[in-house]
Amino acid sequence: MEMLYVLLPVALGFVLAAIVTFRWAVRNGQYDDLDTPPYRALLDEEEKAS
């Protein structure tokens, strides 16, 4: 039973940290464009030879 007094606040702390991190990512535009980045790797221009 004593372990619950430790585990419950630790679990709530992890949940709170996950929510704060997710809100930070959304507010900073991390999820704005989910389609374009995978195509950038395929469509990169080749390096020009000097």
What pLDDT, in 10s, does the model give residues 11-36? 999 999 999 999 999 999 888 888 88
The widest CA-to-CA distance across the chain, in whole angstroms, is 71
With H, G, I as helix, E, B as strand and everything else as coil, classify residue 31: coil
Q: Can you say whether the dihedral through the CA atoms of 37, 42, 46, 47 is positive or negative?
A: positive
pLDDT recorded at residue 46:
66
pLDDT at 45 over 80: no
Distance (Å, whole) CA 16 – CA 8: 12
What pLDDT is attached to residue 40? 79
Contacts within 8 Å (CB) and 24+ apart, 26-35: none
Give the global pTM: 0.64
pLDDT at 50 over 60: no
